[in-house]
Amino acid sequence: MTRDRIATAIYLGAALLWQAYVVVTAYRNAATLRTLLAGIGGRLPAVTHNYFATYRYWPLVTLVFLVLSADVLRRPKASRLYFAVVLAASVLAALFLQAWLNEAWFRPLFVILREIG
């Protein structure tokens, strides 16, 4: 393996690890958040409601980017543009999932704090 291919694998692997971390965190904490919010009652914000409706499918995002990353690495001469697009999309997907997870947790708490005053 050349240094370029090793660097490519490290960059793509880091983005995949970030996605995997977010997915594991979402699965690990979903039941806790659901219990906490059920005890409080009231209507959930849309971001939290949609989180509960979709978090079980989040591993598919990581799987898609795993396949795309493997495709970049399996090509003997993958274009830099293809690598850049896959890497950027993978990082943006991880960022989006992380932001969604954070909003799903904090939005209901901020609504409660605002109502308490």
Read off the pLDDT of residues 10-32 as tens digits, 9 standing for 90 and up: 999 999 999 999 999 999 999 99
- Of 7, 16, 10, 3, the C-alpha closest to 68 is 16
Of the pLDDT bands very low, low, confident and very high (cuts 50, 70, 90), residue 84 is: very high
In 1-117, which ranges are continuous DSSP H helix?
3-40, 46-54, 58-74, 80-116
Is 1's pLDDT higher than 80?
no
62 has a pLDDT exceeding 80: yes
- Does residue 86 contact residue 69 with C-beta atoms inside 8 Å? yes
How do the domains of the chain map onto residue ranges? 3-116
